[in-house]
Amino acid sequence: MKVFLPLALTLATASSYSLQLTGRTGRFASTRLMSTPTYSIPDQPARFAKAKVENNSRFLDIDSCYDPSYLSGKRVALTGANRGIGLSLAKELSAQGAKIVALVRKSSPELDALNPEEVITGIEATSDSACATLADKIKGGPVDVLINNAGYFYEPVEMISDSSLNFSEELKMIDICALGPLRVTSNLFQAGLIKEGCRVAMITSQGGSVSWRTTQNPSGGDYGHHMSKSAANMMGVLVSQEFRSKNIPVTILHPGFNKTEMTKKYEKIWEIEGAVDAAVGAKRVLHEVGLINMERTGKFINCEDGLEIPW
């Protein structure tokens, strides 16, 4: 079948635009020009090496472009704020004059030292009833930003070949990483604590990208981790779709490779693969949170370089 392209389309470069054909007859039921994103690259050491060769300041020096002024006076709800990236986010939010609403299982001395506006404890991500208490426990009204950050990565590598699969841990990861943020987000929304204009960030992981598995897991493995983060990505996209008509933008964020308890098992490759202190990771995340808007809703962004990650 011969398809006649409108002149404007024949002039558009193939690399910049893709043409979507829809309709059962093969004729143009509708045409839409979509810009093709420049994707981040899956090979983590090569990505870091390329950033150094190119002297990529967005990647290597977040302070060169980070503008946190949008945070001043904003109420920011944050899960997992007691340690790791969450604690670093809380520290940076505090430094920028944001009002932290920490949603945690238990607090920590470091979190308490920040004097958050509210510390809501007992928020076990796997518990329907615990997450349902958010409506009563949060006293200060709607939040301007929600960052779903809490997560869990079972320590041992899981393989079929050496019988190291752990199905109960797999379900736990899916429960915490994918259902947890859905429980928190839905309870906050139902309670009127997320309203039009609120920015929602879902911290998932590059590990949730299916198309990057062939590069990052050439021998498979870590089933529960990757499945949980893929499920989290799916959750994030569906929430973004449901919230579209409510003008509540949702972005799915890979926070980058951060030196935390979670990645301690990869300590030997931290320097080779560009792992950063969580204080740097927090600024990268908050830089991307500052860019959340309805045009970017539903996108999956690598906070290391600001580029999209393919699903």
Ligand X SMILES: NC(=O)c1ccc[n+]([C@@H]2O[C@H](COP(=O)([O-])OP(=O)(O)OC[C@H]3O[C@@H](n4cnc5c(N)ncnc54)[C@H](OP(=O)(O)O)[C@@H]3O)[C@@H](O)[C@H]2O)c1
> At closest approach, how far in Å is the CB of 80 from ligand X?
3
**Residue 274 is a binding residue for ligand X (CB under 6 A):** no
3-state secondary structure of 80: coil
Residue 266 DSSP label = G
| Only segment of 8-16, 144-152, 191-199, 292-300 that touches ligand X (CB under 6 A) | 144-152
Note every long-range contact of 48-52, with CB atoms under 8 Å and residues 24 or more positions apart, other chains counting.
48/272, 48/273, 48/274, 51/274, 51/304, 51/305
3-state DSSP helix/strand/coil % of the chain, to nearest 5: 40, 15, 45
Cβ atoms 196, 297 nearer than 8 A:
no
Give the phi and the psi of residue 250 in degrees, each rounded to 5.
-130, 125
**Interacting residue with ligand X among 51, 59, 78, 86 (CB under 6 A):** 86
> At closest approach, how far in Å is the CB of 218 from ligand X?
19
**Residue 82 is a binding residue for ligand X (CB under 6 A):** yes
**Residue 300 is a binding residue for ligand X (CB under 6 A):** no
Q: In the complex with ligand X, which residue's Cβ is closer, 19 or 279?
A: 279
Q: In the complex with ligand X, which residue's Cβ is closer, 228 or 240?
A: 228
Strands 33-35, 17-19: pairing is antiparallel
**Residue 203 is a binding residue for ligand X (CB under 6 A):** yes
**Residue 124 is a binding residue for ligand X (CB under 6 A):** yes
**Residue 102 is a binding residue for ligand X (CB under 6 A):** no
In this structure, the chain runs to a length of: 311
Cβ atoms 262, 281 nearer than 8 A:
no
**Residue 126 is a binding residue for ligand X (CB under 6 A):** yes
**Residue 84 is a binding residue for ligand X (CB under 6 A):** yes
Cβ atoms 47, 54 nearer than 8 A:
no
| Cα angle 56, 62, 67; round to 5 | 130
Query: x/- binding map, residues 238-267, to ligand X, per CB under 6 A?
Result: ----------------xx-xx-xxxx----
Q: In the complex with ligand X, which residue's Cβ is closer, 152 or 223?
A: 152
Size of the site for ligand X (CB under 6 A): 27
Q: In the complex with ligand X, which residue's Cβ is closer, 96 or 216?
A: 216
Q: In the complex with ligand X, which residue's Cβ is closer, 20 or 211?
A: 211
Residues 166, 224: Cα–Cα separation, whole Å? 8
> At closest approach, how far in Å is the CB of 149 from ligand X?
5
Q: Using CB under 6 A, list all residues that contact ligand X.
A: 80, 82-86, 105-106, 124-126, 149-153, 176, 203, 205, 254-255, 257-258, 260-263
